[in-house]
Amino acid sequence: MIFIIAGSYKKAKQFAKTQMLADDEWISTLDLDDLKQLSNFHVIVTDTASELNPIFFEKVFNLALLRGRIGRE
């Protein structure tokens, strides 16, 4: 699974489409509570992530790195 950090869900979906990812191969959310429920994924940061508030981006990025490691062998 791939977690995409982008400026918005719409932009994440556009990125996934350009990479020919199926809908069941990627996830994206900017809701920290939703992110806390996810695990076992790789993180990709797109160029549109620069549109996010830098402090908020750091929160999402660090939480995604932490949650993504959970469940990996």
Instruction: Output the pTM of the full model.
Output: 0.93
Whole-number pLDDT of residue 7: 97
Whether the Cβ atoms of residue 41 and residue 3 lie closer than 8 Å to each other: yes
Residue 13 CB burial class (10 angstroms; 0-12, 13-18, ≥19): middle
**Helix, strand, or coil (residue 3):** strand
7-63 pLDDT tens trace: 999 999 999 999 999 999 999 999 999 999 999 999 999 999 999 999 999 999 999
Give me the domain span that covers residue 48.
2-69
Number of domains into which the chain is organized? 1
Whether the Cβ atoms of residue 68 and residue 39 lie closer than 8 Å to each other: yes
Confidence of residue 72 (pLDDT cuts 50, 70, 90): confident
